[in-house]
Amino acid sequence: MPVFDSRSFKNHEQVVFCSDEATGLKAIIAVHSTALGPATGGTRFWDYAAVHRKVAPIDVAESRGEQDAVYDVLRLSRGMSYKNAMAGLRLGGGKSVIIGNSKELGTAELMRAFGRQINRLGGSYYGAEDVGTSPAMLAAAGETTDYVCGLEGGDYGTGDPSPHTALGVFTGIQAAVKHKLGKDQLTGVKVAVQGVGNVGRTLVKYLLDAGALVSITDIVDANIEATKALGTVDVVSLDGIHALDVDVFAPCALGGGLNPNTIPEIKASIIAGAANNQLEREGVEDEELRKCGILYAPDYVINAGGIISVESEVYREKPDNSARREKVLRIGETLSKIFATSDKEGRPTGIIANEMAEDIIRSANEVKLAAAAE
């Protein structure tokens, strides 16, 4: 797979491949931009080859899995740059992936080895929680580096960022419903939530409390049972939730779910969820959604609550819960501006958001270069 010519690689400052034979660590750290501050983004622990093992020999499956990991970390790190810029944070964009099954490989020893790899970057990248990792795992990495955040305890620890992510998505759904449906309340609004892990489940609680009618699905039965305990929800099949006759489809699992196969089946008039990289091909699927009359809330804008919650930790500032909440609630205002611009210019919301983020990063880079030249 070509890397330097890839749209996902665009303007990356650094990509590092890491390994540790003793623990089985195989990881990639991608630093997209440090224009606004240290590149900060989650550490995803995922078995990228798993889906390929079902249809290909082991060596082919592993090779394809590694290609998927490279593609994923590049898209995610660039998305973090855009996310942090649009959230008005003092953070650049980066991401890391650890390749493998976290339940089998995610030992404290491996996370400490990963921490040593982060430490070699000297503070240009800060890791945080993501799919497959937890505050406890990041704490293990924190034993060998200071450059992790989202930790629990201590003077600067901000803990699990998922509640803030869920609040941001809920606020974004409110803004989208207001813009598209003209409703100030969510009472009676039908929402399909795909994935009810920590973020999706908390989002469901917000939605139920607001009077929404909620359908859910998840690959993990325990997540479904925990969500059912929150109130009345309709449990549907994994492969059918995107096609439900609802007002809002909220993807809160992995990315790539908005593609040529699923978009024609979507009946919702709004897509607003926590998953990263929801569009299989940016600039293509979001244009198709616009043509279909579907309002798309750009994923990295609506799901910024988690990174907002850990910004203070990067700068060794004591967390201010009211200030964090205030910043998260601004996500709705930012989305409303994107929606309005999209309507005015007749262009996809995803492209509008990208251009806004790129302008912010470009201006910061110019200031940084000018200061270095003095």
Q: How far is Cα 358 from Cα 196, in angstroms, rounded to an integer?
A: 32
Label residues 81-120 b or e (16+ Cβ within 10 Å = b).
Answer: bbbbbbbebebbbbbbbbbbebeebbeeebbbbbbebbbe
Catalytic residue from among 83, 95, 190, 327:
95
Average pLDDT, the chain: 93
158, amino acid identity: T
Which one-letter DSSP state was computed for residue 193? E
For 325, phi then psi, to 5°, come to -60, -40
Specify whether 95 is catalytic: yes
Sign of CA dihedral 113, 118, 122, 127: negative
Band (pLDDT 50/70/90 cuts) for residue 7 is low
pLDDT tens digits for range 104-161: 999 999 999 999 999 999 999 999 988 889 889 999 999 999 999 988 878 888 888 8
207, amino acid identity: L
- Domains of the chain with bracketed CATH: 7-78+92-141 (3.40.50.10860), 162-304+332-357 (3.40.50.720)
Mean pLDDT value of segment 277-288: 83
**pTM recorded for the entire structure:** 0.90
Do residues 175 and 225 touch, judged by C-beta distance below 8 A? no
Band (pLDDT 50/70/90 cuts) for residue 319 is confident
Closest-CA residue to 27 (of 111, 109, 124, 122): 111
pLDDT tens digits for range 49-72: 998 988 888 888 889 999 999 989
pLDDT at 5: 66
Angle at 203 between CA 202 and CA 206, to 5 degrees: 95
Indicate the SS3 state at residue 157.
coil
Give 148 or 276, the one with higher predicted confidence. Answer: 148
pLDDT at 156: 87
Closest-CA residue to 81 (of 373, 363, 354): 354
